[in-house]
Structure 1
Amino acid sequence: MRTVTPFPSPGEGAGMFADAVDALLAEARATNERRLLVLRGGHDATLDAAADALDRAGVDRSNASLVGHRDALGCERIDPHHSAELLGTTRDVVVVDCHDETRPNALGRVAGAVDGGGLLVLCTPGFDDWPGHDDRFDEGLAVPPFETADVTGRFRERLADTLRAHRGVALVDVVRGEATAVEDTTRGEATAAEDVDAGVDTQGVVVEDDGLTHPAPRLASGSVEFPAEHAFPAAAYEACLTGDQVDAVHAFEALREADTAVVAEANRGRGKSSAAGIAAACLAAAGDDVLVTAPEYRNAREAFRRARSLLDALDELTGDPGENPRSIETAAGGRIWFERAPDVADADDPDVLLVDEAAALPVRLLEAFLDYSRVAFTTTVHGYEGAGRGFDVRFRDRLAESDHAATDVTLTDPIRYAAGDPVEAWVFHALLLDARPPVDPLVEDTAVASVEHRRVTPADLAADENLLRECFGLLVYAHYRTEPDDLARLLDAPNLTLHALTHDDHVVAVNLLAREGGLDADLRASMYTGSRVKGNMLPDVLTSQLRDEDAAEPVGERVMRIAAHHACRSRGLGSHLLGAVRDTLDCDWYGVGYGATPDLLSFWRENGFSTVHLSTTRNDSSGEYSALMLDPLTEKGEALHDRHAEWFARRVSDVLADALTDLDPDVARAAIAACDADHSLSLTDADWRVVAGAAYGSAMYAVDPRPFRELALHGLVDDAVRLDPDAQRLLVAKLLQLRAWDEVVEDFDYHSRGTAMRALGEALVPLVAAFGTEAARAERERYAE
């Protein structure tokens, strides 16, 4: 039953609204849990109510933050785009203004910043109107040629439904009277008039749910006990807050020995980064150089804070911490310093590598970290920072196959708040932070013959929680960068389409597509001159970088994500789904862009996609070069593909010799082989005599490298010659990337320069034999005599 309580104006004594807030806070503090206060109504009214709630509860403004676009509460204000600033911090209260913008990533980030006994406050429109309340996040979903009106509000409807359903959530309607009836569109004139007619005090608030859970009394937690034997100092264990954290620090002691690895897994807020920081301090205090890496420094900030605190207690801290907060030196000569994950390969070699938030990194980088003898990984099991499950699904196998003796530890006890916290439960449900694919036994007998293809609409997802969880769970497991914003895109973005394969009504594969292109002439011209156009990745690159102003006219569907359940991989499900989707498409091209690896390039080539571009800079997150590929479906699509594939074929050798000289030769040869273009040879008789002379006799490659490069490129794409992989790598590295002989000798483990030069000649022999003219054959005969 709804309860009407007066809304005190600022400066008046505590009223029933303040009593409701006090009761909510008192229960939160008594249980060391958090509570959620939802203030529904007009924008100004809800912010005023939030300010009054802070005053009545006696919350110091220095311990509160407002996430929104208005300075309204006299406390720190953080733009929703910069909400990551709250990661690793604690606040008594965080207020999120959802009127101007409801950003899922911001909700996922800031909820974890509220300390036990604190409040998360949401200021929202009325729930009936919230789904249709367009905001700034919608503007980001309205990628051209779509408009904001095309964006739906299913994600906000989901938030409202979960807020109604969860315990520990107080729902309060802020009622501001007849004078506000026109201004307060979230409740509407009719509703305000009904309140007046019914005699309700409209200068008040309506408490629909007080949010109190009335929990049973809990037993006091026991004291944290030290391990019976430990190598780290006792102060390290005294700094631990839970038994789980003690176990984690103890596990990190394994890093004192060579060829060891430690994996610490936990949900957010369990103290895994703190445990890593404590361990780093102990290792540095013993004289080790400890390199800490993560996607960004903010991810590792807590580890550095705890390391610096412990080293100070051990009297091991040296230098001025203000000079460089990302580097700590110890009296024993040890050091702790930070490098972003893509930059680790270029950093000084450490004694120990600590990888924080490993689940947020691509598997390729994680595999490279196994080159270090002593390495540790902290990873989020579920949650905002560790949504991608490549760590569990694929990297675990690589770690098991390595020479490292691995130690695993799991932390389950929350640090900042009590177990069973209702705010954490709501955030996980609302944002699907714990979404998973179907459990293995349900799908492990899946085969291509047993699956059904279906297009899954946003309405289907919104109406079926299990379908949504299975689809989103597969997307989460498939890609290390899947995040809460992607859930809203899946439900609301007008340019996205989802296709799935199901087995016994369980989702076993998904293909998420983004519609791109179809842009008008003015927008294409703007893109050509440097303007960024949202949500049109392939046309943008082809237009702005490759200077094709007409590239954004044809309409295409780009594969954003494709994933098959890990229990039924390598059964052709991904290829089957790509083909099934292709048969349904009504557009000019099918495309994809991704961090290029040899296996992925081969997969896309086998499924009919052709290389049209390799990026000339590495992806900032993955450290990989990106490949763009097209599969033309109409004459317009063929024209787009053909001109870019042919240009790629003409320029790729020059690009490899310049911007891509450090590209993995296996990636280069796979990208070239996947380019469906004319690679015909145009060598003269003089060219052939030089090339054949180098293959069979004493001619020198250095006299004229051009024909060698042209022949190498042709040999990589023409199936008439099956060069072995080592020969192909050598052709790429020496002839296309123009690497120095000394570098080739080192990279390919040749005994000497002469050995490498002879290997190049041997690699040319089958190419000259297969493609050479009469002049080449005559040159060969001269050396055969």
Structure 2
Amino acid sequence: MLGSLARTLREEARRADERRLCCLAGEADPEPALQEVLDAADLDDAVLLGHRDLAALTRHEPRQAGALLGTTRDCVVVDLRDECRPNALGRAVGAVDGGGLLVVLAPPLDDWPDRRDRFDETLAVPPDTLDDVAGNFRRRLVGLLRAHPGVALVDLDSGTVERDGLTEPAPTQPTSPPALPDDHAFPRVAYESCLTDDQVAAVQAFEALREGNSAVVCTADRGRGKSSAAGIAAGALAAAGRDVLVTASDRRGAGELFARARAVLDAMGLLAHGEETVQATDGGRVRFASPAEATDLPDDPDVVFVDEAAGLPVDLLAAFLGRVPVGYATTVHGYEGAGRGFAVRFSERLARNDVDVREVTMADPIRYAGTDPVEPWAFRALLLDASPPVEPLVADATPESVEYVSPSSADLREDEHLLREAFGLLVLAHYRTEPDDLARLLDAPNLTTHLLTHDGHSVAVALVAREGGLDPETCAEVYREGRVQGNMLPDLMTGQLRDPDAAGPVGRRVVRIAVHPQVQSQGLGSRLLDDLHGEFDDADWFGTSFGATPRLLAFWQDNGYRPVHLSATRNATSGEHSAALLRGDDSPLVARHARWFRERVGDVLADTLREVDADVVRRTLAGTTFEEPNLTDREWRLVAAAAYGPGQFDMHPGPFRRLALAVLTDPESDLSADRERLLVRRVLQFHDWEVTAEELDYFTASGARRELGRTLQVLVERYGLKAARDERDRYG
């Protein structure tokens, strides 16, 4: 029976060039049934995601599902009995080729939502326990398995087929090879390797990267061949002697791009080397750099390709514009990143740049037919296509017109409309929103969702984590060990900042906040925070942590949050330093950490924070408490001598740094932004004169020195004591 079902499913999938999903559920050992499915359906090219070895298949742990990126299989088996990890399920779906099967192993479906597994353990953060984790994600998943076309359900315990998963599709019509363009700059062999007309159009669009001030944006859903198109173009450019730099969230994710570049050069007889760097015989090459490294344009590449661009922050993507021809390829709906958010936010950035932009969209699937039922099942199960309300529905929303609501996770599960809008806003706002986040939103006991709605539609959303509240024994252990799961800010304050009492008070960390782009900059984000603060008025503190940019720092500081930490290392993907901010007028914890940050920031800026962007430093310091510089008479004479006479600040840097910190934290300061940057780069971060002059656009190092002297004169006049004025008068 099971063998016959598997054979019929595979035959139908092959005939329609679609995929089918077969779920084997029950307490019984699934290995005999799985082996029967694989044998009957002739599935030799199968791989397993799970924690147990089965059917002699090559196995990857669920956390290693990224190994499937850039690969296709006739069958992927996902064992969800020990760990139902949404990201792994999403990667598995994307790796199944047309005519293939996705096989899901699950516990009895009726019991599954109430069981707890290894993924749930990541959601049970102290002081919550595994019993506090909800099962809403799996309950929703079971409902979709039982209702969606193309899904076969087999009860292993009773040996019955609950659903056969057959859809009886019309036979697919043979397709003609894509038409090659009459007029093209890339070699003909590049276009002969394209599989669809969409791919031909995408490769031809990338021809624009032969020119200087150009950008090409290629978007598509998964399985449309966008990375292949970028790889074909990269190979053609390398064949012409161009140095092509490729970046992506990780090297493995760009595997298909490199494979296609290698194939094009090989077909042209120009491949000299095809390993990590794809080298052409005439000097052209295709090489990889991490995103943070790539923005520095190492070795001056001629062209840059950004693969899966939605998985990177917009500020990083925009860093290439106008500096080098750049091609962006990205998935619109997928676990790689928030594609819809990319489309909205990056399009706005492109419009503000004086760059020749070409945009191309690929719609035709390559690996399976457009009628494939597994793709829409995955989109719905993992909310890969979640979107916020369309713009006309929220265009007139104001802080006065909206309603504040805090739906429970059960409310969100039962209201698909509300869930899709809320999650769609999160996808739109953050470049790394992924399926795992959907499960966290629905099941994590320490997370709550908060919305502003306008006429029933979501216009702003915040995801908030309860943190702290740990018992004294756990606090002591955290202080000794330096780690506590799922409590980001108490972990930071206890482990890194060495506060033994930081994990006791109960706080609320704003994990994500997003406002519909149609109504941004109208006070809705602040209105949402005001309501949050009111709802949790018993919290000891509020906090947040994010990749620091001047705009984000200003938003949080305007809402009463004070900086307490700036990370020494950059995020490998975004290239940003993370900032942590706290709010709490009556909180001793907030008061002491804000004070400690102000006390140490001058030292770390000259050491571990020397490379933090000057504007990030300026904005961070603007949120700290102003303190008078408190210089001695001798120190004032040193400063005045450097301002008006032959003195040099780098002979006695201490008083100059205290003075710089004072003016950069002074809310009454009217010092220009350029002079503030000079104080940050030269006085606080101690970069040498040549580097400072080049970065801040002074013609020479001497020009930067003279401007620092003029800046110090302003500070002497504003803060200087009698000793400073007397020293000034020595120089007329």
Aligned partner of 2:588 in structure 1 is 639
- What is the distance in 2 between the residues matched to 1:397 and 1:465? 29
Partner of 1:693: 641
Q: 1:67-146 maps to which residues of 2 (within 5 A)?
A: 67-146=49-128
**1:714 equivalent in structure 2:** 662
Separation of aligned partners in 2, 1:532 and 1:733? 34
The Cα shift of 1:166 comes to 0.6
- Distance in 2, matches of 1:384 and 1:47, equals 29
**What whole-Å deviation, never above 9, does each CA across 1:80-132 have from its counterpart, x for those lacking one?**
11111112111111111111111100010011111111111111122211100
* C-alpha contact 1:590 1:633 (8 A) present in aligned 2: no
**Letter paired with 1:127:** L
Q: CA deviation at 1:400?
A: 2.5
State the 1:695 CA deviation.
2.5
The equivalent of 2:294 in structure 1 is 344
How far did residue 390 of structure 1 move?
A: 4.1
Q: Could you tell me which amino acid in structure 2 is paired with residue 733 of structure 1?
A: R
- Matched with 2:519 is 568
Residue 458 (1) aligns with residue 390 (2): no
| Distance (whole Å) between structure 2 residues aligned to residue 532 and residue 551 of structure 1 | 12
**1:192 alignment counterpart:** none
SS in 1 for 2:351: helix
Give the 5 Å matches for 1:564-643. 564-585=515-536, 586-632=538-584, 634=586, 638-643=587-592
Q: How far does residue 388 in structure 1 lie from its aligned partner after superposition?
A: 5.0
Among 282, 293, 316, the residue aligned to 2:270? 316
Where does structure 2 lack aligned partners over 5 or more consecutive residues? none
Counterpart Cα distance in 2 of 1:645 and 1:160: 48
Q: Residue 34 of structure 1 contacts residue 118 of structure 1 at CA under 8 Å; is this kept in 2?
A: yes
Secondary structure of the corresponding residue to residue 350 of structure 1: coil
1:389, 1:479 within 8 Å by CA — same for their partners in 2? no
- CA shift, 1:387, in A, is 2.2
Question: Secondary structure of the residue that 1:93 maps to in structure 2?
Answer: strand
Q: Which residue identity does 1:610 align to in structure 2?
A: R
1:43-65 superposed Cα distances (whole Å, 9 cap, x missing partner): 51x333112211222322xx011
Check conservation: 1:292, 1:336, Cα contact below 8 A: yes
Alignment match of 2:715 (pick from 742, 767, 770): 767
Match of 1:334 in 2: 284
Tell me, yes or no, if structure 1 residue 376 matches structure 2 residue 327: yes
Deviation of 1:702 (Å): 3.2
In the aligned structure 2, how far is the partner of 1:71 from the partner of 1:413? 36
- Partner amino acid, structure 1, of 2:328: F
* Alpha-carbon displacement from aligned partner over 1:688-736 (angstroms, at most 9, x marks no partner): 1221232234433234221111111011112232111111111111111
The answer as to whether partners of 2:2 and 2:36 remain within 8 angstroms in 1 is: no
Q: What is the alpha-carbon distance in structure 1 between the residues aligned to residue 626 and residue 355 of structure 2? A: 47
d(CA) in 2 for partners of 1:542, 1:340: 30
* 1:324-354 deviation per Cα after TM superposition (whole angstroms, max 9, x unaligned): x220111121111111111113421111111
Whichever residue aligns with residue 470 of structure 1, its letter is E
1:299 to 253, 261, 265: 253
Taking the aligned partners of 1:724 and 1:775, their CA distance within structure 2 comes to 26
- Which of residues 629, 634, 637 in structure 2 aligns to 1:681? 629
2:41 aligned partner: 57
1:389 deviates by 4.0
User: Aligned-pair distance for 1:523?
Assistant: 2.5
Q: Deviations along 1:364-392, whole A, 9 cap, x unmatched?
A: 21011214321100011111113254422
Q: Shift of the alpha carbon at 1:467? A: 0.1
Classify the secondary structure of the residue corresponding to 1:612. Answer: strand
| Aligned residue type for 1:47 | E
Q: 1:702 to 1:100 in 2, by over 3 A?
A: closer
Residue 11 (structure 2) pairs with residue 26 (structure 1) = yes
Residue 612 of structure 2, aligned match among 654, 657, 663: 663
**Residue 490 (structure 1) aligns with:** 441
Structure 2 CA distance for aligned equivalents of residues 721 and 409 of structure 1: 48
Say which one has the larger Rg: 1
AA partner of residue 57 (structure 1): A
Distance 1:503 1:678 in 2: 40
Aligned equivalents of 2:446, 2:257: Cα separation in 1: 40
Unmatched segments (≥5 aa) in structure 1: 1-15, 176-201
CA distance in 2, matches of 1:626, 1:400: 28
Please state how far the C-alpha of 1:597 moved relative to its aligned partner. 0.9
- Secondary structure of the 1:397 match is helix
In the alignment, the residues of structure 2 paired with residue 436 and residue 700 of structure 1 have an alpha-carbon distance, to the nearest angstrom, of: 58
Segment drifting more, 543-552 vs 468-477: 543-552
Aligned equivalent of 1:727, options 675, 685, 690: 675
Question: Aligned-pair distance for 1:591?
Answer: 0.3
Cα displacement (A) at 1:253:
1.2
The alpha carbon displacement at 1:770 in A equals 2.4
Query: What TM-score results when the alignment is normalised by the length of structure 1?
Result: 0.91
How far, CA to CA, are the matches of 1:22 and 1:633 in structure 2? Answer: 67
Letter in 1 for 2:285: R
Q: Could you tell me which of 420, 431, 434 is aligned with 2:371? A: 420
Deviation at 1:765, TM superposition (A): 2.6
Q: How many residues align?
A: 730
* Residue identity opposite 2:85 in structure 1: R
CA displacement at 1:72 relative to structure 2: 1.5
For the residue of structure 1 that corresponds to 2:595, the secondary structure is helix
Superposed CA deviations along residues 604-659 of structure 1, whole A, max 9, x for unmatched, are: 1110000111111111221111111100154xxx2112222112111111111111
Q: Which residue type is aligned with residue 519 of structure 1? A: L
Q: Secondary structure at the match of 1:222?
A: coil
Q: Summarize the Cα distance change of 1:633–1:163 in structure 2 as closer, same or farther, 3 Å threshold.
A: farther
1:467 aligns with 2:452: no
- Tell whether the 8 Å contact from 1:563 to 1:574 is kept in structure 2 after alignment: yes
Show the counterpart of 1:159: 141
* 1:160-175 equivalent positions in 2, closer than 5 A: 160-175=142-157
Q: TM-score, normalised by structure 2?
A: 0.97
Q: Distance in 2 between matches of 1:161 and 1:449?
A: 38
Across the aligned residues of Structure 1 and Structure 2, the Cα RMSD in angstroms comes to 1.5
The partner residue of 2:603 within 654, 661, 675 is: 654
Corresponding residue number in structure 1 for 2:727: 779
2 CA distance for matches of 1:260 and 1:542?
A: 46
* Residue type of the alignment partner of 2:242: D
Q: Does the Cα contact within 8 Å between 2:224 and 2:362 map onto a contact in 1?
A: yes
Identity of aligned residues (%): 56
Alignment of 1:420-459 (within 5 A): 420-459=371-410
Q: Distance in 1 between matches of 2:41 and 2:491?
A: 51
1:515 correspondence with 2:463 = no
Displacement of 1:421 in angstroms is 0.8
1:126 match: secondary structure: coil
Deviations 1:276-325 (A, max 9, x none): 11111111111111111111011110011111112111100113x3xxx2
> Contact conserved, 1:43 with 1:124, CA < 8 A, in 2?
no
1:556 is the counterpart of 2:540? no
Q: Could you tell me how far apart the structure 2 residues matched to 1:230 and 1:753 are?
A: 49
Distance 2:371 2:528 in 1: 40
CA–CA distance in structure 1, aligned partners of residues 175 and 483 of structure 2: 55
2:356 matches 1:405: yes
What are the equivalent positions in structure 2 for 1:198-277 lying under 5 Å apart? 205-277=159-231
CA contact (8 A) 1:616 1:660 kept: yes
Q: CA deviation at 1:456?
A: 1.9
Letter in 1 for 2:584: P
Q: Supply the distance in 2 between the matched residues of 1:555 and 1:640 (Cα, whole angstroms).
A: 11
Name the SS for the 1:529 alignment partner.
Answer: helix
CA contact (8 A) 1:389 1:478 kept: no
2: CA distance, partners of 1:233 / 1:406: 23
- Please name the residue that 1:11 is paired with: none
